[in-house]
Structure formats: structure tokens, C-alpha cells
Chain A
């Protein structure tokens, strides 16, 4: 019997869980009777998360004019819904450390994801009418289905990677996965997001970053993550030539109103920021 993407996502439900601090914040934000101070209190109950949150709030990512030294202040200036995004972003690397694999090092995997997060956030600001922090999280999570496939179907995953190399890197990895497994990492990631009840924006960005024409609810955000993924590849292999990386779907420029002029400054900015952001987010603590 052939395995489906949803079976695969169900299968790992017991191996990785979202951290308590995210779930607590999530519940409070959805509760109309909760206040910002309830959320600050929920954050404070996790000391290691608190320390890291304050580090992020004081980093170049926010550039607040004065230092943010209490959780209450962090919650009030970052905003409660952004704290939820941050809680997810800051915990996802450690959640997924429960899904090890031999095909890609976690450091390399999260570097690509963080490049995509930084770039998606920057493109969201440039495009306007987009939630920057939600797009940071979407960029960070866009390839989580890959970790599921690499852990659960290592043999087929390796065959897919070989197929890409045999094609002289002409065949995209998601196409190779569809040929060998029957579905690709974006579908698996989308299924996982659904089972975790992640916000629809995140689910759609994860599920459709390779087929943006199929996004129905948040096409603009999905297009930003599509661009973020490809610009992240450029940042990683240190190139500004579009021919060196996977092709950009022209629809992405149309949906975001952005133009190719944004590529160079955005890639350069992400390259300058990556080391600090790796220290803040990619640690499996």
C-alpha cells in the first residue's frame, strides 16, 4: 500500500511536539479574556525561553531604540501575536532535533531556513501589506517536510537527491521527490502544519512555496516565501546570478509587486545578518 503525505505526517506526531511555552501562549492569545500580562506570565514560566526572547528583542532584528529588559516590556513592544510567532521560531530547531537524519546536517538545514526567514521578512517589509514577523516564521518553517522525509524515508530521499545530481541539477528536488515518493516535502510540511493547527498563513506558505499558483488564501505571502527560498539559495552559494539557482515563478513578482532590483540588496543584507541570527535561533537548546 502506498504511503500518503498525511500518513507520514501523522506517523511523526509522537516524535516531535511543539513546546509547552508555544502552546500556552497560543491558548492565551485565542482566549478573549486573557491580557498581555497573562502572556508575559506564561513566557516567564520558561526561564530559558525568557532569556532567549530578551536576546532576540535586543538584537539587530528589532533595533529598538532602548534596551528591552523585562518580559512585560518585550510583550508590549513586540506585540502578543508576534510573541507567538517568535515562540514558534525559537523552538522549532529543538523540536526537530528529535528527527535526526544522515542526509543533511542540521546546521546546514537551519542555515538555509534562517536565510529564507530573514529574506522573507525583508521582502515583506519591502512589499508592504505583509506581516513581517509571520513571514519570518513561515520562511523558517518552509522546508520542515524535508526533515520528515529524510528521517522517515531515508532511502527514497537519497534516491531523490541522486536523481537531482544525475540530471546535472536540472531537476528540482521537489520534482525528484514526486517521481520517487509520489509527493514532495512541501505537501508533507503542509500536512504537519495542519495537524499542529498552525495558523493558515504558515500552513499555506509551507505547502505551496514550490507551486504558488495553487495558494488560495494567502497568495501574496506564499509568493514572498517562494522568493525568499530562492534568494536564500543565492545567499548560501554566494551568487547574484539567477541562472545559478532554481527558477523564480514570474507570478511571484506579480503577486508581491517587487522587482528584480530587490535581489542584490536583500541577499547582501541577509548574508550580513546570518551569523547573529544563527546564534539566536538555530541553537537546539
Chain B
């Protein structure tokens, strides 16, 4: 057990659960689907991903950065590019919100846009019988980053495994671990609960989703 207290938390992230991790020898904040977390300190941010995406973004000079966790809601077709046809409709707003909140959170805390370094993870196909919603999420985040002029420096996306990731914004280091299929349903349930909860919110206006 660590004797030192966790590093200070930035305003707005007090609700995120943080715990000491022995093998990482660090505190890690664990975010759930729909959440994001930004830090200026030496700590990890972790999450588990099924078909969801996490973007890990930081100011590479200042070490201020964070991670989000999101997915696009289910729509009729499973075509990876279908979300484009629906434009800026309800299909993409969760993704746009998640990306904007993370980037704004980093800039609000001193990060500079021209220094941003981006890594993306997730989008696995963990439920064999379902359409490949992971692929659609990957396609969305790539396109979003391209439109914003942000380059992806590292990624581990797609395939059939759930992933556990831990990101250290101070150094930019990411630990990615594939998880055994024993965890598939637990992770898929968590993602489904997130989609159900955002699906209940009204579609228009300046709604705070996360």
C-alpha cells in the first residue's frame, strides 16, 4: 500500500474514483463509459474497453493530458461509415461531445493545441453475434481527428479482444492489456448501460452529457 496521498485533483473531476495500484506503483483514476478525466500530475488514468473508444491526448511539452471513453449510439446499419451520412445528428453527438470535452479540458488547464499528442484505443468486436459497432467507432474517431488537424501517434484498435488501458499523461506512456473473454459480457453490459443512459437524454440544445 502507498503511504503517500493521491495527487491533487483538477476541478470538475472530483467524482472520478482513484486508487493506488501496486503493480503500476502509481495512483490510477478509473473512468467509466461516458466519463473523461484530465490531470496535470503524475498519475495514471485507466479504463476497460469493449467496442468503445478511448482517446488519450496530452500536451507533450507540459505533460497535461487526459482520456475519454465513448461510443456512438446504435443506428440502423452496421456500415462503418454510416454515421457520416447522418451528419451531425444524434449519431455523432456523443462522440463529438466526448472529444471536445477532453480537448477543452486539457486547454482549460494550460495545454496548447499545437502541442497535442493523440493516441487511440478500443473499438474491439467482443460480441461475436453482434454487428461490428467497434469499427464504426474507430472510423468516427479517425475522421474527427483528421478534421481537427490532429495526428494519431499511436493506436491499438479493432480485433476481437476487450482491452484494459492505463495512460500516464505526464510521460505519454500507455499500458495496453488484452483481456480474456471471461470479461466480455461484463464490459459489454457496462457499455450498454451507458448507451441506454445517454439515449434517455433529450436530443437538442446544450445538454451536458458527461
Residue positions of A touching B, CB distance < 8 A:
102-105, 107-109, 111-112, 158, 161-162, 164-170, 173, 233, 236-239, 244
Contact = CB atoms under 8 A, between A and B. Distances in A.
Contact of A168 (B24, B181, B182, B186): B24
A236 B180 contact: yes
Interface of B: 17, 19, 21-24, 28, 30, 46, 48, 128, 161, 164, 166, 177-187
A169 B164 contact: yes
A161 B186 contact: yes
Nearest 3 pairs between A and B by C-beta? A108-B181, A237-B178, A161-B186
B186 A236 contact: no
B177 A169 contact: yes
Contacts, number: 61
B69 to A, nearest CB: 13
Nearest to A107: B128
A158 B17 CA distance: 19
Residue of A102, A107, A162, A165 with most chain B CB atoms under a 10 A cut-off: A165
B179 A112 contact: no
A112 B28 CA distance: 30
B48 A165 contact: yes
Given A166-B30, A168-B46, A169-B179, A104 B164 contact: no
B168 to A, nearest CB: 13
A236 B179 CA distance: 9
Nearest to B46: A168
A103 B186 contact: yes
Given A165-B48, A167-B21, A170-B23, A244 B184 contact: no
A158 B21 contact: no
